[in-house]
Every structure is written in structure tokens, then in C-alpha cells.
Amino acid sequence: MTLVSGQEPVTAFEDNDHKPVGHGRMLRKEDPRLVRGKGRFVDDVQLPGMLHLAILRSPMAHARITSVDTSLAEAHPKVKLVVTGAMLAEKGLAWMPTLSGDVQAVLATDKVRFQGQEVAFVVAEDHYAARDALELIDVDYEPLDPVVDVRTALAPEAPVIRDDLEGKTDNHCFDWETGDADATDAVFARADVVVSEDIVYPRVHPAPMETCGAVADFDSVDGKLTLWSTTQAPHAHRTLYAIVAGLPEHKIRVIAPDIGGGFGNKVPIYPGYVCAIVGSLLIGKPVKWMEDRTENLVSTGFARDYIMRGEIAATSDGKILAIRTHVLADHGAFNGTAAPVKYPAGFFGVFTGSYDIEAAHCKMTAVYTNKAPGGVAYACSFRITEAVYLVERMVDCLSYELAMDPIELRTKNFIQPEQFPYTTKTGWVYDSGNYEPTMELAKELAGYDELRAEQAEKRARGELMGIGVCFFTEAVGAGPRKDMDILGLGMADGCELRVHPTGKAVVRLSVQTQGQGHETTFAQIVAEEIGIPPQDIDVVHGDTDQTPFGLGTYGSRSTPVSGAAAALVARKVRDKAKIIASGMLEVSVADLEWAKGSFHVKGDPSASVTIQDIAMKAHGAGDLPEGLEGGLEAQICYNPENLTYPHGAYICVVDIDPGTAQVKVRRFIAVDDCGTRINPMIIEGQVHGGLTDGVGMALMEMISFDEDGNCLGGSLMDYLIPTALECPDWETGFTVTPSPHHPIGAKGVGESATVGSPPAVVNAVVDALKPFGIRHADMPLTPSRVWDAMQGRPTPPI
């Protein structure tokens, strides 16, 4: 257990010269309730008279609905309401907008387009009765040929999935392009070495331990809807409900209580939420909907599903010249991708990675298939998982071709520190980076040279050991509102700070933690700026009636956007405090100096007032300086000028059993650089969790479909998630390259490890299989797939 930041001791004020300091290892404020079973998750909400909703789902991937008979269900003694798509259609609620500007059926009317799609719902006195009643609904389906394989979805004879869209005659969803095709082709034409590879990033699922759910409570007297829901973006959801349901926005209150993990799964609006709202509107009582695991896996936002042809061009001595890629993206039956409007492929454009190259080009086609919608989820930072996987696999393929060490090849091509801010060939402006020391530290922690020596010995004995390297650059903190919005809502975030008379404070956020520790770290950010101890600062989030507007937590955007807002709002309050202090000390503002928690007269530290003194003065009796209002509070809406670009160097060591082809991750070394580190303990936890995602995706997880469109990953019996036995003890380290444009120099980090670890694991497995002459194998590298690869059989297409 080396170099783990979480091993630092907790120290108290004394070690900090009696001054409250915000940043540093601090135990979490949310833990005391969570370890007592006193967290409040959506399914814990119990309201008087509350009813339970269950959803009937399609057993078929593609079929016309010819009739729905609900009479038996309605006759069930505990059933209060049965609603079909036809009933919703009468109210204009059968379809809803998606975050990508497409539409999605709330309940199917004309036909079903994926297995697990919502067809009808029942509201009953209890959960068990509601489920019973689902069995009593009789739906007649007329089967249609399903479109399952994305490679043939655009064939002229393929059935048209989206015949609801006017004039739609094929399954084409969108085309997207970035970079310079001609320049890239020219570089490829003169390159010494060109390597191409077909790479699949299979469909996976974020599968948070808590599934999605909601409790809708419509108060018919004051016309107000309160919705507890598993949402990562409560304010954006409120606005969309106002648009979908036609309720005035001030009469909608969205409450996101404790959320049992999100990982991007809880960004979209799902039909179940709308059903719960409709149920409560129709009955006038609270209605709870909580999906089960199978519903979560088969119907809510999947992740990835990119089929990529990667090409990399280089000189014979290893200078990377250009990268070119064609992508086929499977978006399922409705384009529900959660991405900024102008970025239908998210931020896939960062596929040039950490390397200074001459040209790049990507052409993408997205298609509809008879599968659940989604795409952007599972800590992908808007498709950066796919981008990093592509570039880091291609660089490894090149290192294989050139017989060059993968670290040496990467280092040779790194963007250099003096090149930042660096504009990539696809137009992304990386804020800061110093890649080589990060790579060097990972190498040192791993004992890289010794590992290679060990590998050589083992290889000579016929043992399969692999060492995989990944160096990634992330792009997080969406985003500048001139470029980035979700359905017209600019991607800014608000923060409000109020200091109470006794010097305690409350900070209200527009972002929404799902376990990332915001209640702790945002108190730390404010504490650092205003000198109030973090335990005296309460963090409020997840209630749209109580918090400022903002777009929520995903894409590792909390620290970059809302964290910036928290620091700036604290500085705004501090500026006002300074004016009050000048009145109290009877000097001019220019004569005051800040010393973390107090202002004193320059040159005379004894003439000082603490922030607590100032807070009381702000609310108390007596005059304040001319023109100043009472109170000590401020609000801000932060519009970031750029994204933040954290980076990391990962090294994975695997052993493969030559007899069973089972891959064991023996070690994993992760060095992350997210600029200023607010709470190292929490960062470490974020990294550990993301590394586990990477092991899962690389070795175990996949949502696949049979030829009839049946989902084959619909439960935890089939959708395998790593347990403590599949994970090594993670080894972490860090470097610090602050973001120059961020108020405290902090970058996002939550998704870095999920982005960076799959390529490291796959690179390690492929490296172990080098004696078999294998250059690539597709995830998940299960024993059967690795065995196939060892026998010279290609991994089966997905």
C-alpha cells in the first residue's frame, strides 16, 4: 500500500497556526447519517396516502401494438389507476423531448421500439399489488423485424424504427465531423508508418446501486407539484417538467435527496418520472415509482456503444503525425444522449489525446437501433471515455508496430508544458498540463523497469504477464455558455452564501452530489476563502426551491463550475466583510489585510476583527459604512471561460492464466493531476471507484442483444460488476498543475479514472498476449474472449 493520500493523518487546527484552512483531508460531513442508516434516499420517502406505481414493459424489441386490454387490472381491488399510451396521447403527454432534442415515448402508442420499453402503468395501494396488476394487462403485439446490428442498420432493407418522425425512411440519426479531412489525408499519405485497427467500445451500463425512482406529490389546492427524484440535475429537470407537463415552473419543486450513486445514469428524464407525475396529477395523492434492477439495466441510459475504425500515422522513429477515425454510434431507439446541444457526439473531439500532432479528423454516423436510448453516461465526460480509449489503444498498436516501449513513445509525443494553453487540431484549448513528471511518477511507483524485467523472465518461462500504460487528458467542466447549453439552458452554475449573525454559514449549490462528497468539499472551498471553519458551514443542495439555478452534477463539472462559483461568492462576501471591517477598525479598506478568518490593519496585527465579529456587526446594531446594506450574503452564477483539462498516467499489471485465460489485475498504479486538490481523501476515493469501473468494463461488463433484440445483460446475474475479489489494492499518486482560469486552480477529477483505466487494462492484456501475435482484442476481455484470442480467433462481434 504505497503512496496513498488517504493515509495522511487527520490533523487539527493547531497544525495550521490556529487558522481555519479549508483545503486538505477532512472526514465527510455526510457520513454520520449514512453509517447510521439515516440517509434519506427516494425509496425511503413515505408520505400520507402514498400510492405505488409499476410499469408494464415491452417483451419485444420491435412490434406494433394492436390492442391493450386493461379491464382485469382495473378490476383488481387494490388498483387505483391504469394508464396506457393512448390515454396519455389524449392529454398530449405520450411523447416527451429528450436532452438531445429528439422525442421519446413516455408510454408506447403506435409500436414498441426496444425490449423493456414502457407500455402502460398501474397505480395501486402497495408495491406488490401494483406488480400483480401488471400481469393482468393484456397487450397484443404484431412483431416487426428488429434492427439490432448497428453495422446493417442503414441498409436499404432495414426496417424503419422511427416511423413516428415525419418523412423518416431510414435509421439514420445524425452525422458529425471534426478536424480537417484533407490535411489529415495528406499527412497519412506521406507517413512512414500507418496502423489501423477496428475497435469496439461495447455497450455498458452505469448501474448505480440505487436504481432510478421518484415520488410525485401534486397538491391540487395550491397547484404545486413536489417531486422527489433520483436526479443529478434537479433544476434542469424542473424546467423540462414545466415544458413537458405544462405546469408553471414556480409551482414545481424538485427535491433530489440522498442519491445512491448516479454515474450519469440519473441525468436524463425517464418515462417513469413522468408517469409518477401523471399518476399524482390524476389521483391527487402522492405516487411512488421505484424501478427494479432489471428495469434499470434494460431501459435507462446505457453508455458507450461506439464502433471505431482508428488510424494513426507516424514517422519510423515514433513521431505521431496524425489520427483519423470513422465512428459508427449506436444510439438506440430514441436519441436520448445527454450532451450539450452543439455536441451531438459529446466531446469525442478530444481524441487526439495528450499528443502534439499535425492533423486529425473524425467522421461519425449515429444510427437508431431497437435498443434502449442513452449513450452518454457512466463517467464518460461526454464521450471522452471513447476518445481516450481510441487514442490510447492506437498509440499502443503503434508502439507494437514500431517495437517501441509504450511509455517512451508517449513521452516522445507529449504536448510540452510551455505549449499550454494548447489548441488541438480539433479545436479544443487545453488549459494547462505538465505530462512528463506525471508519467515519470507513475513509472517510478510501478517500478516499471523491474516490471519489464520480470515480464521478460516470465515470458521465457511461458507465463503470461502484461503491463498496460494509459496517459490521458480529460476535458471537464461544461461549459462556457457561448458554446454549451442543454436544451437552451446555458451550462452555468449558481452558488449562494449566507453568513448568519453568529458567524456560521450556509452555502447553497445548484449541483447535486451522488456520493462525491460535495457537502464536505464545498464547505472546504468556502472555508478556505472566508475563514469560517468548514464544520460551521452547512451545504444545501438538491432542492430547487432552496438553491440557485444551475445545471447539476455530471461530466465532472461540479468543481470546475460550481466550485468556482463557491470560491467567487465567498470572495464577494469577503469583499463586503472588508468594508464592514474598515468601519469597525476605523481605517480605510486599503489599509486592511486578510489573514484567513480576520482582517487586521496593515502593520498592526493586533488591530483586527474576525469574520465572526464582522458577521455580527453586519446583522447587528449601529451604523455600517456609508451605502452598505445590512446582512452578509451574496449570490453568483458562474459562467466558465473554458473547460478544465486534468490528466493522468496509469499503469496496470495483469497476469493471465494460460490454462483458463482468466485475467487477474495484480496491480494498478494511478497518478492523477487535477490541479489544486480540495480534499485528497475524497479525490482518492473518486479515483478508486473509477478504476473499478475500468476493470469492470475492460474485463466483465457488457449489455448485448441477441438477433431478436432480447437484452442479454438485464440483471446482475449477467451484467457482471467487479467485487472486492476482482480488484487489486489501488496505488495512487498525484501531481499538481493548476488550471490557470479557475478561481482556485482546481480541475474536475471524478471521471478521470473511469476514462483512463479501461485502456490501461486492455493494453495490459494485449501486452500479455504478445507471444500470440495479437495487437487488439475487444472488451470485455472475459476468459472466453481471451481464450479465443489465444487460439487466433477474432473476438466475436457485438
Partner 1 sequence: MQVTMTVNGEEVTREIEGRLLLVHFLRDHLGLTGTHWGCDTSNCGTCVVRLDGEPVKSCTVLAAMAGGHEVSTVEGLEQNGALDPVQKGFMECHGLQCGFCTPGMMMTARALLDENPSPSEPEIREAISGQICRCTGYSTIVRSVQWAAAEEAGTRTTTTAADGVPAAPETAPTTTPGSAS
Residues numbered 423 to 442 that lie near partner 1 (CB under 8 A) are 434, 437-438, 440-441
* Strands, E assignment, 125-243: 138-143, 172-179, 193-204, 213-219, 224-229
Residue nearer to partner 1 on the CB measure, 112 or 298:
298
- Between residues 437 and 631, which has the closer beta carbon with respect to partner 1? 437
Note whether 16 binds partner 1 by CB under 8 A.
yes
C-alpha distances in angstroms, 16 versus 38, 222, 428, 676? 33, 52, 40, 18
SS3 509: strand
* x/- track of binding to partner 1 for residues 700-739 (CB under 8 A): ---------------xxx---x-xxx-x-xx-xxxxxxx-
For partner 1, what does the binding mask look like between residues 249 and 268, x meaning CB under 8 A? ---------xxxx-x-----
Alpha-carbon span 667 to 8, nearest angstrom? 22
For 694, the grid coordinates are 475500468
Which of 11, 23, 7 shows the shortest CA–CA distance to 563?
23
Query: 542-601: which residues touch partner 1 (CB under 8 A)?
Result: none
**Are 477 and 644 spatial neighbours (Cβ–Cβ below 8 Å)?**
yes
Residues in Cβ contact with 794 at an 8 Å cutoff, skipping those fewer than 6 apart:
788
Counting contacts by CB under 8 A, is residue 77 touching partner 1?
Answer: no
With CB under 8 A as the contact rule, the residue among 8, 140, 449, 604 that binds partner 1 is 8
If the CB atoms of residues 210 and 496 are measured against partner 1, the closer one turns out to be 210
Identity of the residue, 62 or 518, whose beta carbon is nearer to partner 1 in the bound complex: 518
> Of 335 and 521, which CB lies nearer to partner 1 in the complex structure?
521
Whose Cβ is closer to partner 1: residue 583's or residue 733's?
A: 733
Cα dihedral 299, 300, 301, 302 sign: negative
Binding mask 204-243 for partner 1 (x = CB under 8 A): ---xxxxx--------------------------------
Q: In this structure, how many other beta carbons lie within 10 angstroms of the beta carbon of residue 17? A: 9
For partner 1 (CB under 8 A), the number of binding residues is 102
Q: Find, among 276, 273, 274, the residue nearest to 287 by Cα.
A: 276
Task: Decide if 568 contacts 494 (C-beta within 8 A).
Answer: no
* Dihedral sign from CA coordinates of 535, 540, 546, 550: positive
All residues at 6 or more sequence positions from 36 whose CB lies less than 8 Å from its CB, including other chains: none
How crowded is the C-beta side of 212, counted as CA atoms within 13 Å? Answer: 29
The grid coordinates listed for 251 are 409551482
Residue 763 touching partner 1 (CB under 8 A)? no
Question: Which residues ranging from 626 to 685 are in contact with partner 1 (CB under 8 A)?
Answer: 671, 677, 679-682, 684-685
Closer Cβ to partner 1, 3 or 243, answer by number: 3
Least CB distance to partner 1 at residue 728 (A): 8
Contact between 10 and partner 1 (CB under 8 A)?
yes
The residue among 126 and 317 lying less far from partner 1, judged by its C-beta, is: 126
Residues 393, 395, 398, 400: what is their CA dihedral angle, to the nearest 10 degrees?
A: -60
Q: What is the smallest separation between the CB atom of 590 and partner 1, expressed in angstroms?
A: 29
Q: Which region among 2-10, 86-94, 488-496, 568-576 touches partner 1 (by CB under 8 A)?
A: 2-10
Distance CA 721, CA 727 (A): 11
Site map 326..365 versus partner 1, x via CB under 8 A: ----------------------------------------
Q: How far is the CB of 380 from partner 1 (least distance, A)?
A: 15
Distance CA 559, CA 347 (A): 18
Residue with Cβ nearer partner 1 (17 or 623): 17
Residue closer to partner 1 by CB (options 263, 428) is: 263
Instruction: Give the shortest CB-488-to-partner 1 separation in angstroms.
Output: 30
**Binding-site string for partner 1 from residue 531 to residue 550, where x marks contact by CB under 8 A and - marks none:** --xxx---------------
The packing angle between helices 384-402 and 406-413, to 10°, is: 110
* Longest Cα–Cα distance in the chain: 86
Q: How far apart are CA 54 and CA 275, in angstroms?
A: 9
Q: Which of 64, 78, 127, 326 binds partner 1 (CB under 8 A)?
A: 127
Q: What is the DSSP letter of 346?
A: T
Q: Where are the beta strands (DSSP E) in 391-456?
A: 422-423, 429-430
Residue 310 beta carbon to partner 1: minimum distance, rounded to whole angstroms: 29
- Does 135 interact with partner 1 (rule: CB under 8 A)? no
Q: Judged by CB, which is closer to partner 1: 24, or 85?
A: 24
Q: CB of 38: closest distance to partner 1 in angstroms?
A: 7
**Between residue 33 and residue 62, which ones bind partner 1 under the rule CB under 8 A?**
34-41, 43-44, 46
- Show the cell assigned to 56: 408494464
For partner 1, give the closer residue by CB, 444 or 485: 444
Instruction: Please give, one letter per residue, the 3-state secondary structure of 363-409.
Output: EEEEECCCCCCEECCCCCCCCHHHHHHHHHHHHHHHHHHHCCCHHHH
Alpha helices in 204-270 (DSSP H): 234-245
Q: How far is the CB of 785 from partner 1 (least distance, A)?
A: 22
CB of 555 or CB of 696, closer to partner 1: 696
Which region, judged by CB under 8 A, interacts with partner 1, from 26-34, 106-114, 484-492, 590-598? 26-34
Of 398, 413, 441, 201, nearest to 309 (Cα)?
A: 201
How far apart are the C-alpha atoms of 416 and 259, rounded to whole Å?
Answer: 40
> 445, 566, 765, 768: which one contacts partner 1 (CB under 8 A)?
445
Q: Which is nearer to partner 1, 369 or 732 (CB)?
A: 732
d(CA 246, CA 733): 51
Q: Which DSSP string corresponds to 458-480?
A: HHHTT-EEEEEEEEEE--BS---
Residues 171-210 that bind partner 1 (CB under 8 A): 207-210
Contact with partner 1 (CB under 8 A): which of 146, 336, 689, 743?
Answer: 689
Closest distance between partner 1 and the C-beta of residue 558, in Å?
14
Q: Which is nearer to partner 1, 109 or 211 (CB)?
A: 211
Least CB distance to partner 1 at residue 678 (A): 9
In the complex, the smallest distance separating the C-beta of residue 243 from partner 1, rounded to whole angstroms, is 29
Q: How far is CA 79 from CA 127, 522, 776, in A?
A: 10, 45, 55
Query: Is residue 691 involved in binding partner 1 (CB under 8 A)?
Result: yes
Question: 472 and 687 in contact (C-beta within 8 Å)?
Answer: no
Task: Please say which residue, 44 or 69, places its beta carbon nearer to partner 1.
Answer: 44
CB of 648 to partner 1, least distance (A): 12
Q: Which residues fall within 8 angstroms of residue 326, CB to CB, at 6 or more apart?
A: 308, 309, 362, 363, 364
Using rule CB under 8 A, residue 748 touches partner 1: no
Minimum distance from residue 41 beta carbon to partner 1 (Å): 7
Any contact of residue 142 with partner 1 (CB under 8 A)? no
Q: In the complex, what is the shortest distance from the CB of residue 366 to partner 1, in angstroms, rounded to a whole number?
A: 28
Tell me the window of 67-75, 526-534, 767-775, 786-794 that interacts with partner 1 (CB under 8 A).
Answer: 526-534
Question: Read out DSSP for 147-171?
Answer: ---TTTTTSTTSPPS-TTSTT--S-
**Angle in degrees, CA 466, 471, 476, rounded to 5:** 135
Tell whether residue 128 is a contact of partner 1 (CB under 8 A).
yes
CA distance 253 to 463: 60
What is the smallest separation between the CB atom of 723 and partner 1, expressed in angstroms?
Answer: 5
Site for partner 1 in 368-427 (CB under 8 A): 417
